[in-house]
Amino acid sequence: MEKEIEKIKENIKNFHPKNLDDLETLKIFFLGKKKGIITNFMKNLKKIPLKERKFFGKIINELKKEIENKIKIFSSKHQYFNKNKKKEILFDPTLPGKAIEIGSIHPISIIKNRIIEIFIKIGFTYVDGPEIEDDWHNFTALNMPIDHPSRDMQDTFFIYKNPDILLRTHTSSVQIRYMKKHKPPFRVLSIGKVYRNETVSSHSNFMFHQAEVFYIDKKVSFSDLKQSIIYMINSLFGKKAKIRFRPSYFPFTEPSAEVDIYNVKNGEWLEIIGCGMIDPNVLNNVDIDSEIYSGFAFGIGIERLALMIYNIKDIRIYFNNDVRFLEQFKSEF
């Protein structure tokens, strides 16, 4: 019996379970309730004479402990291994990383930022204005009284009627907001969204972007206006850009003009700016003495300007959200 036990000890030492099935076999083989070797030894212990029983009992118990230990160690190793295997699957350093896609700046925002930069350089201040306006700021104060035919130039979307609250039709309303609050002299620009009923407006969209630039001081003249516009065009297109001033009409400026830029690519003139000397009526509406102060103002269509800068054929493309179009502006970062 002693020899047998020695042999079993040896076997256990050399037995290295590879998986849980192996371990189960080991368990049943030694500790199984019916045919397990150790169980059998225990059963047979009774047959051994009392003198030797104690000695063998001890050896068998040691053997049992050894086997149980082995099972314990293996199963905890196995658990640990399994846990870490899961972790390894979650983090595989050999896989290529998930790149975070960098978006692009929308072309309208690029031009907006360029224009702000250009005017900040010559002492202008940037301000924002609300897109929801009341009648007075959008029309009346800008020399477009109720029922005046000039209002027909700009139909829009009304949020309330009486009193009229609407989506601003132009950024010129920012002139009124600013002039009401500040005393001249000032040089200001504002850029933002404006809204029009597309069946009335010549724009293909119910929304587009405008820049509003205005300057009020003593003795501001039309030549100041002209120089500011030429400076902006030269900054954007270089000195070779060809522009022309055409006499025009706006209710809030007198005299008024429109500025076209020549497109060498198709030989056509594109109207991009409305401008003029601020009408004395407008200044008086905001309590600025038109006898002392004069000013110029102009409005720029940002989408149109961007058409020229990027050689874009169709103005609708800006807001189609076509990634193939938008991602072309990545390099602008």
CA distances from 184 to 39, 123, 251, 321 (A): 106, 14, 22, 42
What's the burial of 19, exposed, middle or buried (CB within 10 Å: 0-12/13-18/19+)?
A: exposed
Instruction: Rule CB under 6 A: say whether 250 interacts with ligand DAH.
Output: yes
Size of the site for ligand DAH (CB under 6 A): 11
In whole angstroms, the minimum distance from the beta carbon of 201 to ligand DAH comes to: 9
* Residues between 204 and 243 with contacts to ligand DAH, criterion CB under 6 A: 212
Q: Which of 166, 229, 288, 297 binds ligand DAH (CB under 6 A)?
A: 297
Instruction: Rule CB under 6 A: say whether 170 interacts with ligand DAH.
Output: yes
Q: Are 12 and 67 in contact (CB under 8 A)?
A: yes
Pick between residue 212 and residue 303 the one whose CB is nearest to ligand DAH: 212
Pick between residue 253 and residue 285 the one whose CB is nearest to ligand DAH: 253
Instruction: Rule CB under 6 A: say whether 276 interacts with ligand DAH.
Output: yes
Stretch that binds ligand DAH, among 50-58, 85-93, 112-120, 296-304 (CB under 6 A): 296-304
What span, in angstroms and rounded, lies between the C-alpha atoms of 175 and 179?
6
How far does Cα 306 stand from its chain's mean position?
21
Establish whether the linkage from the previous residue to 251 is cis, with ω within 30° of 0: no
Q: Are 124 and 187 in contact (CB under 8 A)?
A: yes
In whole angstroms, the minimum distance from the beta carbon of 256 to ligand DAH comes to: 6
DSSP 205: S
Pick between residue 143 and residue 253 the one whose CB is nearest to ligand DAH: 253
Pick between residue 283 and residue 297 the one whose CB is nearest to ligand DAH: 297
Stretch that binds ligand DAH, among 5-13, 81-89, 132-140, 292-300 (CB under 6 A): 292-300
In whole angstroms, the minimum distance from the beta carbon of 279 to ligand DAH comes to: 9
Nearest Cα neighbor of 133 from 200, 215, 195, 216 is 195
Give the CA angle between residues 175, 114, 247 to the nearest 5°: 50
DSSP assignments along 80-146, one per residue? HHHHHHHHHHH--TTSPP---------HHHHHHHHHHHHHHHTT-EE----SEEEHHHHTGGGT--T
Instruction: Rule CB under 6 A: say whether 275 interacts with ligand DAH.
Output: yes
DSSP 184: S
Instruction: Rule CB under 6 A: say whether 294 interacts with ligand DAH.
Output: no
Stretch that binds ligand DAH, among 32-40, 104-112, 178-186, 291-299 (CB under 6 A): 291-299
Stretch that binds ligand DAH, among 63-71, 118-126, 270-278, 315-323 (CB under 6 A): 270-278
Which chain residues interact with ligand DAH by CB under 6 A?
170, 172, 212, 250, 253, 274-276, 297-299
